[in-house]
């Protein structure tokens, strides 16, 4: 979850982590509790990652990158689609045939989002910001991930200010629920 480095290095490390989790899901032959645990692990990582991006990355893109509003808005739309899929997966049973379809949709959405960020958004941000600013954003993103919710909340506002106010409380409640249920114990 907290990898170190500037914001781009931090978020790219998250991307590789999620890709590795998706590869483990694709390699699974069965379902049951092992699949549920892995889907929960992916959900926790994606929610934390998204909240941190919404709080710090996208505001920086809006501020520093030419055409940043358009870029940030597109990324937020991607997050909305992913969050809805995560919510559907949270409610799905592992023996439901729909789960495989939802997982494939999720993997496709996340892969497209990662590709777009890494080939388009990150290079533009790296060019627009000083190394010090990128390092500061990396620190902020790591802090945000440590306090972020661990479950999808698609109805929650995605503005940076609302997220900064609401995410720690939702994160606390989610982590308490996770502790009681044992969800995400490997995260």
Q: Is the pLDDT of residue 114 over 50?
A: yes
Compute the Cα dihedral for 174, 23, 49, 108 and give only its sign: negative
Q: Is the pLDDT of residue 154 over 60?
A: no
**What mean pLDDT is predicted for residues 32-36?**
89
pLDDT score at 18: 96
Per-residue pLDDT reduced to its tens digit, 84-109: 999 999 899 998 889 999 999 999 99
Domains in the chain with CATH codes = 7-181 (1.20.120)
Picking from 174, 184, 138, the residue whose alpha carbon sits closest to that of residue 45 is 184
Rounded (to 5) percent helix, strand, coil in the chain:
80, 0, 20
Higher pLDDT: 174 or 13? It is 13
Q: Of the given ranges (42-51, 132-141, 155-164), which has the lowest mean pLDDT?
A: 155-164
- pTM here is 0.80
Q: Is the pLDDT of residue 175 over 70?
A: no
- Per DSSP, the chain holds a count of helices (H) and strands (E) of 8, 0
Q: Which residue has the tokens 């993103």?
A: 141
In whole angstroms, what separates CA 123 from the centre of its chain? Answer: 19
**What mean pLDDT is predicted for residues 11-34?**
92
Higher pLDDT: 115 or 158? It is 115
Share of the chain above pLDDT 90, in %: 61
Residue 42 — pLDDT band, cuts 50, 70, 90? very high
pLDDT score at 11: 97
Q: What is the mean pLDDT of the chain?
A: 84
């Amino acid at each position: 979850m907290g990898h170190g480095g500037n914001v781009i290095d931090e978020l790219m490390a998250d991307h590789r982590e999620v890709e590795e989790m998706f590869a483990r899901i694709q390699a699974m032959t069965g379902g049951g509790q092992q699949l549920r645990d892995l889907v929960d692990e992916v959900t926790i990582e994606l929610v934390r990652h998204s909240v941190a991006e919404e709080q710090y990355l996208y505001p920086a893109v809006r501020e520093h990158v030419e055409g940043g509003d358009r870029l940030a808005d597109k990324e937020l739309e991607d997050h909305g689609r992913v969050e809805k899929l995560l919510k559907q997966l949270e409610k799905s049973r592992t023996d439901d045939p729909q789960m495989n379809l939802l997982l494939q949709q999720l993997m496709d959405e996340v892969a497209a989002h990662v590709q777009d960020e890494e080939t388009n958004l990150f290079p533009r941000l790296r060019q627009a910001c000083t190394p010090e600013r990128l390092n500061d954003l990396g620190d902020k993103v790591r802090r945000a991930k440590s306090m972020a919710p661990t479950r999808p909340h698609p109805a929650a506002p995605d503005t940076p200010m609302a997220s900064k106010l609401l995410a720690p409380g939702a994160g606390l409640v989610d982590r308490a629920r996770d502790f009681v249920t044992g969800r995400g114990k490997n995260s």
